[in-house]
C-alpha cells in the first residue's frame, strides 16, 4: 500500500468550479471569494468572515487592527505550529507561552497566571480540531482583576477593555462548542485553508468576526478588507467596471487577499463539507477509535463530549510508556510498510528559533509529555476502511517490534 498523509480533496466539482473561474475572465479576488466568505460565515455561525491568503496573514491583519505595539504580550500555548508565535513576532509582540492540558488545549489556569498589564491578546489553539475550554477562558477575561490591569494603547483596545481572544482554528473549521459553532467562543477566529486542512484553497485563511457589543462587526470587516488589499478604496474587481477607475490609498494596508481561482477549490469543497466531507472524517476517526480503544497501550485523543465536538482534523494517537526515539522508530516502520504518519507538534520551545530566544521545554512538562509519544494518523475522505485497517495493523505491528 502507499497511503499519503494528507492529499487534497479534488473531485469533479472542484475541477468544474476552478475551470469555470479560469474561463470567467476574472481570476483574482472577486465573486468566488465573496461566495466563499458567505459560506464560511454561515458554517462558522457569524455574520462576517473575510478571506485572506493564509492563517498567518490573517493573524497579522488582526494584530494590526488591534494596534499591537513593540513589546506587547500575546499569550498562547507552547503546543502549536510555530505560525501562531511567528505572527506575533512579526507584529512586534512577545509570545508568552504557557503549558497545555492533557487534551492538548491551553491550560486556562496557566493562561490566567500569565496575564500582565502588557497582555493585549490571547491566542488559543484548537489542536487537531478539538475546541478549547472557551467558557472558562472567557470567564477569566471578564474578571475585574484582568480588566483593571489592562493598559489600552489603541482605540480598539480602549473599546474592548481587556485582552482580545483570538482562536487559532487552523484545524477546527466545523467544530462545535456547547452545540454551537466553536467560533462563537472567541472574539475573532482564524481558520487556515492550507493544502492539508479540512477545507483547502491551496493556501488561504478566513477571519470570522464575533466581536462583543460596542463593535460593529460589519465595519470591522470593511476595515479588514481594505487593509487586506493595500488600504486601497476600490478593489481591482470594482475598478474593472467601466468608468470606475478612480481610487485612493487611505492606510498602509497589507496585500494578503485570496484569489478567485484558489477560492473556487474551497468553494466546491465547502458546499459538501457538512453533508459529506466532515462525516467522512468522522468515519475514519471512528474506525481508528474502535481499533485502538481496546489496546491497553494506546491513549485515545479527545473527539466528543457533552460540550464539544471536534472537526476531526487529525487523530492524535499517543502510546503509553514509550520514549521519543521509540515513537520515531514506529513512524519509520509504518512508513516502510507504506503509510505516512506524522507528529503534531514539536512544541515551540524545542525549536531552534525559540530556544535561542530563551524558551525552555522544561517549563512545559505537559507539552513535552504529549509530544514525545504522539503519532498523528491520517484523516481524509478518500481513505477507505481497508486503508484504515492497514494503518491500524501496521501501527500495532511496529509497536510490538519496537517495544516488546
Ligand X SMILES: Cc1ncc(COP(=O)(O)O)c(C=O)c1O
The answer to whether the beta carbons of residues 375 and 331 sit under 8 Å apart is yes
Give dist(CA 275, CA 23) in Å, integer: 28
* Comparison of 170 and 402: residue with beta carbon closer to ligand X: 170
Query: What is the Cα–Cα distance from 242 to 300, expressed in whole angstroms?
Result: 59
Give the footprint of ligand X on residues 155-194 (CB under 6 A). Answer: 168, 170-171, 192, 194
Q: Is 263 in the site for ligand X (CB under 6 A)?
A: no
81 binds ligand X (CB under 6 A): yes
Residue closer to ligand X (CB basis): 79 or 223? 79
Q: Is 193 helix (H, G, I), strand (E, B) or coil?
A: coil
Q: How far is the CB of 184 from ligand X (least distance, A)?
A: 20
The reply on whether position 211 binds ligand X by CB under 6 A is no
State which H helix or E strand residue 316 sits in.
Answer: strand 315-319
Q: Which of 68, 111, 121, 125 touches ligand X by CB under 6 A?
A: 125
Task: By CB under 6 A, tell whether 121 contacts ligand X.
Answer: no
- Per-residue cell: 245: 477607475
Q: For residues 255 and 226, is the Cβ–Cβ distance under 8 A?
A: no
Q: Which is nearer to ligand X, 256 or 402 (CB)?
A: 256
Residue 299 C-beta: closest distance to ligand X, Å: 21
Q: If we measure between CA atoms, which residue out of 219, 275, 240, 271 comes closest to residue 36? A: 271
27, burial (CB in 10 Å: exposed 0-12, middle 13-18, buried 19+): middle
Residue nearest to ligand X (CB): 55
**376: contact with ligand X by CB under 6 A:** no
Which of 400, 387, 383 minimizes the C-alpha distance to 6?
A: 383
Instruction: Based on the shown chain and the rule CB under 6 A, indicate whether residue 394 belongs to the binding site for ligand X.
Output: no
- The residues in 224-243 that bind ligand X, with binding defined as CB under 6 A, are none
Cα(61)–Cα(404) distance, rounded to whole angstroms? 51
- Minimum CB–partner distance for residue 359 and ligand X (Å): 17
Give the helix/strand (H/E) hosting 309: strand 308-309
CB of 249 to ligand X, least distance (A): 26
Residue 126 Cβ vs ligand X, minimum distance, rounded to whole Å: 8
Measuring CA to CA, which residue among 279, 306, 398, 344 is closest to residue 84? 344
How far is residue 226's CA from residue 220's CA, in Å, rounded to a whole number? 10
81 versus 173: smaller Cβ distance to ligand X: 81
State yes or no: residue 84 binds ligand X (CB under 6 A). Answer: yes
Q: What angle do CA 212, 170, 360 make, to 5 degrees?
A: 100
Segment interacting with ligand X, rule: CB under 6 A, options 13-21, 50-58, 244-252, 393-401: 50-58
If one asks whether residue 54 binds ligand X (CB under 6 A), the answer comes out as yes
Which of 6, 21, 29, 80 binds ligand X (CB under 6 A)? It is 80
Residues found near ligand X in the complex (CB under 6 A): 54-56, 80-81, 83-84, 125, 168, 170-171, 192, 194, 205
Amino acid at each position: 500500500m502507499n497511503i499519503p498523509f494528507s492529499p487534497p480533496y479534488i473531485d469533479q466539482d472542484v475541477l468544474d468550479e476552478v475551470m469555470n473561474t479560469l474561463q470567467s475572465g476574472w481570476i483574482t479576488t472577486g465573486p468566488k471569494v465573496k461566495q466563499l466568505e458567505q459560506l464560511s460565515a454561515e458554517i462558522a455561525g457569524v455574520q462576517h468572515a473575510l478571506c485572506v491568503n493564509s492563517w498567518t496573514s490573517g493573524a497579522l491583519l488582526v494584530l494590526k487592527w488591534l494596534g499591537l505595539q513593540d513589546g506587547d504580550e500575546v499569550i498562547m500555548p507552547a503546543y502549536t505550529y510555530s505560525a501562531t508565535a511567528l505572527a506575533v513576532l512579526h507584529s512586534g509582540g512577545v509570545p508568552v507561552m504557557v503549558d497545555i492540558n492533557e487534551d492538548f488545549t491551553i491550560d486556562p489556569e496557566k493562561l490566567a497566571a500569565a496575564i500582565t498589564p502588557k497582555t493585549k491578546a490571547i491566542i488559543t489553539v484548537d489542536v487537531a480540531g478539538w475546541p478549547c475550554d472557551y467558557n472558562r477562558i472567557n470567564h477569566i477575561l471578564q474578571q475585574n482583576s484582568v480588566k483593571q490591569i489592562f493598559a489600552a494603547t489603541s482605540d480598539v483596545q480602549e473599546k474592548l477593555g481587556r485582552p482580545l481572544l483570538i482562536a487559532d482554528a487552523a484545524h477546527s473549521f466545523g467544530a462545535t462548542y456547547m452545540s454551537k459553532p466553536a467560533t462563537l467562543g472567541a472574539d475573532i477566529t482564524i481558520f487556515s485553508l492550507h493544502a492539508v486542512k479540512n477545507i483547502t484553497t491551496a493556501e488561504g485563511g478566513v477571519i470570522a468576526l464575533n466581536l462583543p457589543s460596542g463593535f460593529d462587526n460589519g465595519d470591522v470587516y470593511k476595515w479588514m478588507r481594505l487593509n487586506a488589499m493595500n488600504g486601497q478604496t476600490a478593489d481591482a474587481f470594482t475598478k474593472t467596471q467601466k468608468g470606475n477607475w478612480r481610487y485612493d490609498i487611505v492606510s498602509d494596508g497589507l496585500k494578503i487577499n485570496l484569489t478567485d481561482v484558489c477560492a473556487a477549490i474551497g468553494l466546491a469543497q465547502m458546499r459538501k463539507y457538512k453533508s459529506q466531507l466532515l462525516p467522512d472524517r468522522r468515519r475514519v476517526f471512528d474506525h481508528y477509535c474502535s481499533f485502538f480503544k481496546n489496546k491497553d497501550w494506546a491513549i485515545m485523543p479527545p473527539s466528543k463530549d457533552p460540550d464539544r465536538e471536534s472537526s476531526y482534523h487529525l487523530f492524535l494517537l499517543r502510546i503509553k510508556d514509550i520514549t521519543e526515539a521509540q515513537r520515531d522508530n514506529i513512524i519509520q516502520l509504518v512508513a516502510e510498510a507504506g503509510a505516512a504518519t506524522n507528529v503534531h507538534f514539536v512544541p515551540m520551545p524545542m525549536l531552534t528559533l525559540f530556544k535561542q530566544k530563551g524558551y525552555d521545554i522544561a517549563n512545559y512538562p505537559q507539552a513535552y509529555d504529549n509530544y514525545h509519544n504522539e503519532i498523528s494518523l491520517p484523516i481524509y475522505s478518500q481513505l477507505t476502511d481497508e486503508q484504515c485497517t492497514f494503518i491500524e495493523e501496521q501501527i500495532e505491528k511496529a509497536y510490538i517490534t519496537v517495544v516488546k
